Amino acid sequence: MGKSYELLCELESHAGRLCARRALVEKVFGETYDAASESQRTKLDAAIRRLQQKIEDDPDRPQYVLTERGEGYRLMAEGLAAK
């Protein structure tokens, strides 16, 4: 199972609610979260971007996987099921 799928599953399990960066790093990557880790931020951001490229009509203006700057990500599931 790829990281994009794991991220989507984790976001879907909290659809409509904020998924904190800490929770995503720990659940999807199996790492203890370190807020100062540039590596973890880069890895998570890249994985989110790949997911957006797969499911968004326009990844540069996402409608489904939204960034909550400095906090985490939110899956807006309305309309996604119809895709």
Alpha-carbon torsion 56, 63, 38, 31, what sign? negative
User: Domains plus CATH for the chain?
Assistant: 3-75 (1.10.10.10)
Name the helix (H) or strand (E) containing 67. Answer: strand 65-68
The single-letter code of the amino acid at 80 is L
For the whole model, what pTM was predicted? 0.87
What is the pLDDT tens value at each position of the chain, 83 positions in all? Answer: 688 999 999 999 999 999 999 999 999 999 999 988 999 999 999 999 999 999 999 999 999 999 999 899 999 977 565 45
CB count in 10 Å sphere of residue 25: 22
